[in-house]
Structure 1
Amino acid sequence: MPGGVDDPDTPSGGNTYDRRVSLDLSGFGWDVRALAVPGTWPRPDALSVAQLAHLLAGLPDGSVVLLDGLVACAVPEVLVPEAERLRLAVLVHLPLADETGLDPATATELDALERTTLRAVSAVIATSDWAAQRLVNHHGLARRRVHVAAPGTDIAPLATGTDGISQLVCVASVTPRKGQHRLVRALASVADLPWTCVCVGSLDRDPAYVTKLRALIAHHGLTDRIGLAGPQTGAALHASYASADLMVLASRTETYGMAVTEALARGVPVLVNDVGGLPEAVGRAPDGALPGVLLPPRDPAALSTAIRRWFDEHDERQRLKAAARQRRTSLDGWATTARSLSGVLEQLRRDSWSTP
């Protein structure tokens, strides 16, 4: 079962997901071949498109192929002709037009390309119930063809934190959609509190935005309190989580929110907007308690109010910490994700065998 992925050297939730399921699917009886397709996806050059077409053309009839939506959705001219011969499944981490920073014409074009692709393939896989329903509604897909395989989480040691209150962490690529500018403004409004914040995430997705963000931080006199650490993996990322007392995320939308579950896996409470699939990532502790705060996204003061409450209300802070530690014990691992994907792919394989 080949799978198309984007750049495996770039740390992101989508790449982590792709690499993990490529490994874990073998535990469910799949012979997995992960095939990278270089290119500036989802706006590839002609050579990248030709490479993808050549790769698919070389697969035997009836092959089950799982493709990352970043690669697949923008090239229906390649996917649609192969959709009858191959059993194609597309994993949509984020609808192409949902990335902020796109001009309206580009967003409209990518949206139309994605719709054509997803209507042609055998199965569509989303990372949350919310994302699946959105794809159904937005692209007019049959609900039975859209499946959910939520990201898993590796349980990690409990975060030691700092003083239990003041160290904040935001893990997200630094782009307008992730909303670090909203976070900076919220923190500026509570500058009287003794917080520090580290923002972990790629700085090269939108360099112009990063420049504006640095200027905004300097404007508010917060250069020594808000750090842009850049992308982190492995021990460095573990260290950032381990030192955190609270996770904060001001995204405009998320299809799921793997950074949220990574924080909860360490018992770190979260403050996030109540948008997209984030409520599913936050979830609830076994006793029903929320391990964080879901903020009204259209209230610009909500995040700063929640941060102030975190500092001022001891009982609320202890409640959130206890709920986060409970939620840690109920998070699904990557084997659950692979099992969900395997079920979808197995159905495609059976359909392939039954096709005359």
Structure 2
Amino acid sequence: MPFPPIVKEDALVACGRHCCICHKFCGIKMEVHHIREESDGGDNTTDNAIPLCFDCHADMRSYDHKHPKGNKYTERELKRHRDNWCAKVAGNIGIANRQEVIETDKEIYQLLCDLLPWNGGISFIRNKNFAGWSFPLSQLDDLHRFEHQCANPTFEFLDPDLEGQRCELAVLIERFTMTISVETFPTATAGVNAVPEEWEFDQPERFERVVNELHRTAQAIVTAYDTLTKTATRKLGVLPVQVASPASGSEPGLELQWNGVTYWRSKADGTKDGPFCQVCYDSTKQLCRLHDGDSTSSRWEVIDRYVCKVCDNVFEDCQDIPPDLPDDVNKPDDDIPF
């Protein structure tokens, strides 16, 4: 028998419609699970109920006792997960005003923004087309650093709304980086991967599936990130201090952009305005690309260094030096007038 409506209502209110295991906000996409199955003598009371997202609920039923792999959730563990999460929700009063909670969460939020700044990997995947186009793996370093920090048990918001959104973001980033690891492959340029463009003709179904998965997950990450930052700003009343981490060889406080693209904006009088880095160029659509290359490779020669006039990031413009470049190396858009 299903739980009585009042039991389900009490359970959903107590958890704030967040999953009691992974803590992501689920809305209507959740189930109230019997901790002890009715077939094993479980009853339909609140004490035997735990609200779960679809993914965690599927884990409850996927464990095979005949071929055990992994660690099955015990009844005691499930109740502790539920009680711990519901206690957090019960202590939340919407807009947090307990000073100790706010101060702690401010530090966590600043750390999150340092690991995952809006103008780093998040900006890259926001507009990136993965349909056969190559990309430097270094553009995803922010996502990997965030993933690594999520293994730290102290990297957790006290506010349950913020914590639920952080967990949702972590799940999406893990899904995205896993697809990158499994379904993209190195190109002729070191440190650059792509969904093989030949799949579009040799394996069109796989090509479409992988590209759609990357685009769909990337946009879900961006949406989750935007939601988290807006909620944190509203609840904590702060804007994070954006700190650029200087890379090797760059000036103090500036980040060196390898594999950089130099952008210029065409002005009405025919002159050029810029330069802009790839992060800041999307403020206008009237742009001219000078070159796209790997400045760490022997195929390219650095011919100039620029500082983006918007964000002050340092990046380099390169030119090709051998006469016969491989077909997969991007050439400059010579047909676009400066």
TM class by shorter chain equals under 0.3
Based on CA coordinates, which of the two structures has the bigger radius of gyration? Answer: 2
Give the structure with the higher percent helix: 1
* TM-score, with length taken from structure 2: 0.26
